Amino acid sequence: MPPASSTTAAAEPRRIPRAEHAVSREHISASALQVLSRLHGAGHRALLVGGGVRDLLLGGEPKDFDVATDATPEEIKRLFRSCRLIGRRFRLAHVRVGREIIEVATFRGEHDGGVDGEVHHDGRIVRDNVFGTLEEDAQRRDFSINALYYDFADDAVVDFVGGMQDLRDGTLRVIGEPYKRFREDPVRMLRALRFAAKLNFSVQPDCAAAIRELGELLEEIPSARLFEEVLKLFQSGYGERTMELLREYDLLVYLLPMTDSAMRRDPFAERLMMQALANTDARLAEDKSVTPAFLFAAFLWPSVSRRAAELRERGEQASAALQQAASELMPAQQEATALPRRFAVPMREIWQLQDRLAVLNGKRSLRVLGHPRFRAAYDFLCLRAEAGEKLQKEAAFWTEIQEQHPEQQVRTASATGGKSRRGRGRRRRRRPAGDSAAAST
Ligand code: ATP
Ligand code: MG
């Protein structure tokens, strides 16, 4: 019997036979089935668990399939040639089958903080490598709907924690005591909102109360792990709804402190974020690519452009002002959520190109069309226009000219350039020739 505090709704495990649930082998990837079959054939327990089972039960299309087994990592390694053992917090096996990687994890148990399971003084689990039974494995998972197993041995779904009922009710429920489970791993609070947004589930009241109270614990999470989580929050296709929930539960400030304050202070910032996320969601729905560089360009733009404007007021030239504003503000962002260089560099290029796209100065404007970041910068200009900045004319200009033949482009640019410059009342001496950000390209 598990201790009373770690049980949830259901008192005993339920096995739901194949005839009574929706998980069919037809919908499980061939690679996952191959891994399950090999483990099973070698006399081990072999089950699917997590998002794969959850999404199949809901009639959705799983992103990936995770396998749970009683085989130890060493036994898994002996069974599969293309197997790598990874992870520090959790030791896992990655089995490669064709192009797919199947994550195979040994059942984990509860631990008392001994050598293989270390608990930080604040209740945070920093290492979790104690092996356990299937039931213990279910109990240490985060939410009831994530702790449903599909058993390869007889195709039954195994439910220790009332996950089936919660799936039917549309309830996101923590397994065990929410305060304890969120202290163990504060990232679970972000996962809660991510699943609530993705599945359109309601957060169970005790769980909701705990999140409202414990947000601060996210300050302890390494900024690199938070970055990974931010990507899952905003690039899983439900970013707009996720943003609403993050603000409702007041967690945004721990991920994107400047975005949080900009959205509170400035309706334009709010529109810009929601529009950026709506566009990202729409792109993902069409299987188009998205990049964190673009999303972070939007998240930080209100703060960076505001600071750049202050610096320009003091006589700094536009491109330098923007560079300096970014350099001043990025450290605070990096401390919360660390944006890796490979995204931070293109993000800054997107910003730097904004001035070149906003000033239409005849034929010279056209050079920017060849810039490797032109497309992203153009999309960003359109986003700003959509969010209400007076850039509709410029956005229309670049939209039109991209479609044109080079000779036609020159004619359009010569015609539009002069007019626009006068119209915007730009002062030329502030923008000496050759000062543009991307002049090097
Ligand atoms: P997704 O659709 O995003 O892949 P998922 O539920 O599969 O959702 P994963 O991050 O792939 O999420 O994790 C797989 C499973 O591992 C989860 O369903 C859950 O059972 C367990 N798990 C993952 N992270 C945690 C955590 N921080 N605490 C407890 N259990 C976790
Ligand atoms: Mg998963």
Note whether 160 and 282 are same-domain residues: no
The minimum-distance atom of ligand 1 relative to the CA of 141 is 30
Tens-digit pLDDT profile for residues 236-255: 999 999 999 999 999 999 99
- Mean pLDDT over 310-325 rounds to 95
Give the Å distance between the CA of 144 and the centre of ligand 2.
15
In the chain the first and final C-alpha atoms are separated, in Å, by: 68
- Look at 184-193, 395-404, 423-432 and tell me which has the smallest mean pLDDT: 423-432
Nearest residue by C-alpha to atom 15 in ligand 1: 50
Show the tokens assigned to 198.
């993705």
- The answer as to whether 359 is a domain residue is yes
Q: What is the rounded CA–CA span in Å between residue 80 and residue 408?
A: 60
Ligand 1, atom 21: closest residue by C-alpha: 141
Reading the block at residue 332, the tokens are 């605070």
**CA of 150 relative to ligand 1 center, distance in Å:** 15
Same domain, 152 and 282: no
Residue 215 lies in a domain: no
Q: What separation in Å is there between the alpha carbon of 297 and the centre of ligand 2?
A: 28
Residues tagged active-site: 64, 66, 142
The whole-number average pLDDT for the span 283-296 is 96
Query: Which amino acid belongs to residue 119?
Result: V
Question: What is the pTM for the complete model shown?
Answer: 0.87
Pick from 6, 54, 142, 180 the residue to mutate for probing ligand 1's pocket: most ligand atoms within 8 Å of its CB: 142
**Nearest atom, ligand 1, residue 185 CA:** 27
Minimum CA distance residue for ligand 1 atom 5? 51
Q: What is the CATH number of the domain that holds 341?
A: 1.10.3090.10
Q: Is 233 helix (H, G, I), strand (E, B) or coil?
A: helix
Distance 196 CA to ligand 2 centre (A): 15
With respect to residue 195, please indicate whether it lies within any of the assigned structural domains.
Answer: no
Query: Does residue 420 sit within a domain?
Result: no
- Measured CA to CA, the distance from residue 280 to residue 295 in angstroms comes to 8
- How many domains, in total, are found in the chain? 2
> Would 33 be classed as within a structural domain?
yes
- Sign of the Cα pseudo-torsion (124, 129, 130, 135, in order): positive
Ligand 1 binding pocket (C-beta < 6 A) is 50-51, 63-64, 66, 141-142, 146-147, 185, 187-188
* Closest-approaching ligand to the CA atom of 54: 1
Among residues 140, 175, 210, the one where a domain terminates is 175
pLDDT for residue 419:
44
Q: Based on the domain organization, do 165 and 313 belong to the same domain?
A: no
Closest atom of ligand 1 to CA, residue 105: 16
pLDDT in tens, 122-132: 777 655 667 88
Last residue of a domain, one of 175, 203, 226: 175
What is the per-residue pLDDT across 36-94, written as a single tens digit (0 to 9) for each?
999 999 999 999 999 999 999 999 989 899 999 999 999 999 999 999 998 866 779 99
Q: Domain range spanning residue 340? A: 265-415
Domain annotation covers residue 154 = yes
Q: How far is the CA of 146 from the centre of ligand 1 (A)?
A: 7
- Residue closest via CA to ligand 1's atom 12 equals 51
CATH number of the domain enclosing 117:
3.30.460.10
What Cα–Cα distance (Å) separates residue 106 from each residue in 28, 34, 81, 113, 266?
20, 17, 18, 19, 49
Query: Is residue 25 situated within a structural domain?
Result: yes
Give the gyration radius of the chain's Cα atoms.
26
